[in-house]
C-alpha cells in the first residue's frame, strides 16, 4: 500500500497546522510521498505566501523596493520553523532568491518559491527526503506539461527515495527555467506523483470534510458526498462546484487511482472518495447539485422549422463564427433556443443577432438574460423511477418556474434553467426533496 498525500495552503499556514499534518502522516506509514502547497491564510485577514510573492514580482517589475515584503515572508517561515522546534535554516535559500530577484527573475520562478521553501521545512520536519519538483515535473517550451517525460523523471527520481516531499505547483523546462501550473496547481502535482508511483490512493487534504451535496453557502449544513464517480464530479465541476483543480482529475482518473478529499482539521472524517466506478449505492437518489448564474437564452421561431433542413446548423454557425461556445440547445417543432454564457455573448450580441437574421431568417427572435442553470447529478437516477417527477414537483411547490429542461443521454444529470432570482430557492427545494426528505 502506497499513498500520496497533498496538503493545501490552509493546512500548512502555521506551526499548529503543520503539526496536525505531521500527526496525520505519522499515523499511517503508507503515506510515503508528500506534496505541500505554500502557507495559506491563517485567518480571513491574512495573505497567502503565494500572493505576497506575486506582490514582490510586481514591485520588482515596477522598479520599486520589495525587500520589506520578502522580510514578511521570511518571518512567516521563521515562525513556522520556531513553532515546530526545528533547527533548519532557510538563509541560503533566501539568499539565492534575493540574488535571482536582483537579476530580474521570471514571474513563475518567484511565485513558485512558496512551495519550494515549504517543502524544505516539511522534509526536515518529517525526516523525509526533499525532491525538487523542478527535477521531476517537465514542461514543454510553450509551458504545457510534458506528461510522458514527467512520469519518466518521477519514476527515475522517486524510486530512489522511500519517503519524500515534493513541493507542489511548479516544475521546469528542459533548460531549467521554472514553470508553474495555474493557481491551485499543487493538486496537479499530487495527482502526477500518484500516477507516476502507481499509488493506491491520492489523498488531498484541505479545510473541508469533502465535497458537499450542495453549495454550503446556499444550503447551510449540507451533507458531504461519501462516494462520487469521476464523471459525476466532472458534471458538477462544470457547473461551478469545486474542491480541487480540475486538471488534477485526469492523470489519476485515467488509470483508476481514487482520490480521497480529507479535512486536516477533522482527520477522523472519511471525506469524499472519488472513483472511476463503484458498486456503492449512493445514500440519496442524487449525488450532488451545482449551478451557475449568468446565462442567456436566445430563442428562435420559424414556421415549419421542423422541415427546414439545416436551420439549426445555420443558427449555430453564427455563434461559432464569433467564438461563442453553446451550452444547451433545447428545441421544439418550430422553435429552438440556444443557451450561452452571458459574459461570452454580451460584447458580440448585435453581430450574432445580425448574422442569425441573415442566415436563418427567423419569424421571431427573443432574448432572455439572467438565467441560471442547475445540474442535478447522480448515477442513481438511471435506475430510479420518478426522479424527474419529484424534482419538478419540488420546484413547483417552491414556486420556481422552470424555463428549460435537458436530461443528458447518460441519464447522469438533469439540467434545468430558472430565472437567476429563483436560483437559491430552487437549489434548496431540490436538496430538501432528495436529501432531507430522502425521496
Ligand atoms: N500556492 C499556489 C496558489 O496559491 C498553488 C497551490 O496552493 O496549489 O495558487
Task: Give the atom of ligand 1 at the shortest distance from the alpha carbon of 184.
Answer: 8
> Which of 7, 38, 245 to mutate to test ligand 1, by most ligand atoms within 8 A of the CB atom?
38
| Residue 283 confidence (pLDDT) | 81
- Kind plus residue range of the DSSP H or E element containing 80: helix 67-83
| Residue 371 confidence (pLDDT) | 96
Task: Give the atom of ligand 1 at the shortest distance from the alpha carbon of 189.
Answer: 8
Cell numbers at 237, concatenated: 465541476
If you measure from the C-alpha of residue 344 to the centroid of ligand 1, how many angstroms do you get, rounded to a whole number? 27
Q: For atom 8 of ligand 1, which residue has the closest CA?
A: 184
If you measure from the C-alpha of residue 338 to the centroid of ligand 1, how many angstroms do you get, rounded to a whole number? 36
End-to-end CA distance of the chain: 39
Quick one: pLDDT band at residue 193, thresholds 50, 70, 90? Answer: very high
β-bridge partners, 407: 414
Q: For atom 6 of ligand 1, which residue has the closest CA?
A: 184
| Residue 87 confidence (pLDDT) | 93
Interaxial angle between packed helices 49-61 and 107-126, expressed in degrees from 0 to 180 and rounded to the nearest 10:
150
CA distance 305 to 362: 9
Ligand 1 within 6 A of CB of 169 = yes
Task: Give the atom of ligand 1 at the shortest distance from the alpha carbon of 38.
Answer: 1
Instruction: Give the β-pairing of 170-173 and 178-180.
Output: antiparallel
pLDDT beyond 80 at 293: yes
Which ranges of 127-229 would DSSP assign to H, the alpha helix? 147-158, 186-196
Task: Give the atom of ligand 1 at the shortest distance from the alpha carbon of 180.
Answer: 5
Q: For atom 5 of ligand 1, which residue has the closest CA?
A: 184
> Which of 36, 49, 115 to mutate to test ligand 1, by most ligand atoms within 8 A of the CB atom?
115
Give the residue-averaged pLDDT of 210-220: 95
Ligand 1 within 6 A of CB of 48 = yes
If you measure from the C-alpha of residue 51 to the centroid of ligand 1, how many angstroms do you get, rounded to a whole number? 9
Ligand 1 within 6 A of CB of 184 = yes
Quick one: pLDDT band at residue 416, thresholds 50, 70, 90? Answer: very high
Ligand 1 within 6 A of CB of 258 = no
If you measure from the C-alpha of residue 170 to the centroid of ligand 1, how many angstroms do you get, rounded to a whole number? 10
pLDDT beyond 80 at 408: no
Ligand 1 within 6 A of CB of 114 = yes
The segment with the largest mean pLDDT, out of 45-54, 239-248, 411-420, is 45-54
Ligand 1 within 6 A of CB of 182 = no
Ligand 1 within 6 A of CB of 9 = yes
Cell numbers at 139, concatenated: 514542461
145 sits in the region (left: phi over 0; alpha: psi -120 to 50; else beta) called beta
Give the residue-averaged pLDDT of 320-345: 92
Quick one: pLDDT band at residue 282, thresholds 50, 70, 90? Answer: confident
Strand blocks (E) in 233-302? 259-263, 272-275, 288-301
Ligand 1 within 6 A of CB of 53 = no
CA distance 86 to 123: 11
HSE-up of 413 (CA within 13 Å, CB side)? 23
Q: State pLDDT tens for residues 340-368.
A: 999 999 999 999 999 999 999 999 999 99
If you measure from the C-alpha of residue 156 to the centroid of ligand 1, how many angstroms do you get, rounded to a whole number? 26
| Residue 381 confidence (pLDDT) | 86
pLDDT beyond 90 at 385: no
| Residue 6 confidence (pLDDT) | 98
| Residue 129 confidence (pLDDT) | 98
Q: Which residue has the cell 493538486?
A: 187
If you measure from the C-alpha of residue 111 to the centroid of ligand 1, how many angstroms do you get, rounded to a whole number? 9
**Considering the entire predicted model, what is its pTM?**
0.89
> Which of 50, 190, 205, 243 to mutate to test ligand 1, by most ligand atoms within 8 A of the CB atom?
50
Q: State pLDDT tens for residues 125-167.
A: 999 999 999 999 999 999 999 999 999 999 999 999 999 999 9
CA distance 368 to 153: 52
| Residue 219 confidence (pLDDT) | 96
| Residue 238 confidence (pLDDT) | 87
Task: Give the atom of ligand 1 at the shortest distance from the alpha carbon of 169.
Answer: 5
Residues sharing a CB contact under 8 Å with residue 216, sequence separation 6 or more, in sequence order: 222
Counted residue by residue, the chain has a size of 439
| Residue 165 confidence (pLDDT) | 98
Check: CB of residue 259 under 8 Å from CB of residue 243: no
Ligand 1 within 6 A of CB of 37 = yes
β-bridge partners, 299: 337, 366
Task: Give the atom of ligand 1 at the shortest distance from the alpha carbon of 181.
Answer: 5
Give the residue-averaged pLDDT of 17-41: 98
If you measure from the C-alpha of residue 32 to the centroid of ligand 1, how many angstroms do you get, rounded to a whole number? 22
Q: State pLDDT tens for residues 63-115.
A: 999 999 999 999 999 999 999 999 999 999 999 999 999 999 999 999 999 99
The segment with the largest mean pLDDT, out of 298-307, 332-341, 405-414, is 332-341
If you measure from the C-alpha of residue 200 to the centroid of ligand 1, how many angstroms do you get, rounded to a whole number? 25
- The larger pLDDT score, comparing residue 427 to residue 328, is at 427
**SS3 call for 186:** helix
Instruction: Please report, rounded to a whole number, the percentage of residues in the chain having pLDDT higher than 90.
Output: 85
Any idea which of 29-33, 401-405, 422-426 has the lowest mean pLDDT? Answer: 401-405
If you measure from the C-alpha of residue 186 to the centroid of ligand 1, how many angstroms do you get, rounded to a whole number? 6
Query: DSSP character for 212?
Result: B
| Residue 309 confidence (pLDDT) | 85
| Residue 418 confidence (pLDDT) | 96
Strand blocks (E) in 63-180? 129-130, 138-139, 164-165, 170-173, 178-180
Quick one: pLDDT band at residue 382, thresholds 50, 70, 90? Answer: confident
Ligand 1 within 6 A of CB of 186 = yes
| Residue 384 confidence (pLDDT) | 81
pLDDT beyond 80 at 281: no
Give the residue-averaged pLDDT of 416-426: 96
| Residue 308 confidence (pLDDT) | 78
Check: CB of residue 375 under 8 Å from CB of residue 381: no
CA distance 89 to 396: 64
Amino acid at each position: 500500500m502506497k499513498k500520496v498525500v497533498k496538503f493545501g495552503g490552509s493546512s500548512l499556514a502555521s506551526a499548529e497546522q503543520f503539526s496536525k499534518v505531521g500527526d496525520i502522516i505519522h499515523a499511517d506509514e503508507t503515506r510515503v510521498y508528500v506534496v505541500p502547497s505554500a502557507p495559506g491564510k491563517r485567518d480571513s485577514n491574512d495573505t497567502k505566501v503565494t500572493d505576497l510573492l506575486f506582490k514582490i514580482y510586481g514591485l520588482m517589475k515596477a522598479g520599486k523596493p520589495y525587500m520589506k515584503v520578502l522580510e514578511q515572508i521570511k518571518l512567516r517561515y521563521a515562525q513556522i520553523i520556531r513553532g515546530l522546534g526545528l533547527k533548519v535554516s532557510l538563509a541560503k535559500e533566501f539568499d539565492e532568491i534575493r540574488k535571482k530577484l536582483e537579476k530580474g527573475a521570471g514571474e513563475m520562478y518567484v511565485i513558485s518559491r512558496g512551495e519550494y521553501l515549504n517543502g524544505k521545512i516539511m522534509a526536515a520536519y518529517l525526516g523525509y527526503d526533499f525532491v525538487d519538483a523542478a527535477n521531476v515535473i517537465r514542461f514543454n517550451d510553450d509551458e504545457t506539461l510534458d506528461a510522458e517525460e514527467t512520469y519518466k523523471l518521477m519514476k527515475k527520481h522517486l524510486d530512489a527515495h522511500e519517503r519524500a516531499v515534493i513541493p507542489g505547483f511548479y516544475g521546469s523546462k528542459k533548460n531549467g527555467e521554472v514553470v508553474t501550473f495555474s493557481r491551485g496547481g499543487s493538486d496537479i502535482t499530487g495527482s502526477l506523483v500518484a500516477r507516476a508511483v502507481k499509488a493506491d490512493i491520492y489523498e488531498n487534504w484541505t479545510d473541508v470534510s469533502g465535497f458537499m451535496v450542495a453549495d454550503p453557502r446556499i444550503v447551510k449544513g449540507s451533507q458531504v458526498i461519501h462516494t462520487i464517480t469521476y464523471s459525476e464530479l466532472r458534471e458538477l465541476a462544470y457547473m461551478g462546484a469545486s474542491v480541487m483543480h480540475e486538471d488534477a482529475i485526469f492523470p489519476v482518473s485515467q488509470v483508476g487511482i481514487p482520490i480521497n478529499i480529507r479535512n486536516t482539521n477533522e482527520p477522523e472524517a472519511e471525506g469524499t472518495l472519488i472513483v472511476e466506478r463503484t458498486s456503492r449505492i449512493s445514500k440519496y437518489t442524487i449525488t450532488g447539485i451545482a449551478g451557475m448564474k449568468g446565462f442567456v437564452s436566445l430563442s428562435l421561431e420559424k414556421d415549419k422549422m421542423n422541415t427546414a433542413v439545416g436551420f439549426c446548423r445555420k443558427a449555430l454557425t453564427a455563434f461559432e463564427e464569433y467564438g461563442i461556445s453553446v451550452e444547451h440547445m433545447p428545441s421544439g417543432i418550430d422553435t429552438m433556443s440556444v443557451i450561452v454564457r452571458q459574459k461570452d455573448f454580451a460584447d458580440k450580441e448585435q453581430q450574432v443577432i445580425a448574422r442569425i437574421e441573415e442566415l436563418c431568417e427567423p419569424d421571431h427572435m427573443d432574448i432572455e438574460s439572467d438565467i441560471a442553470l442547475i445540474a442535478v447529478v447522480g448515477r442513481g437516477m438511471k435506475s430510479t423511477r420518478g426522479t424527474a417527477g419529484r424534482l419538478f414537483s419540488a420546484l413547483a411547490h417552491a414556486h420556481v418556474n422552470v424555463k428549460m429542461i435537458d436530461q443528458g443521454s447518460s441519464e447522469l444529470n438533469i439540467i434545468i434553467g430558472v430565472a437567476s432570482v429563483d436560483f437559491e430557492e430552487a437549489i434548496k427545494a431540490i436538496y430538501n426533496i432528495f436529501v432531507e426528505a430522502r425521496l
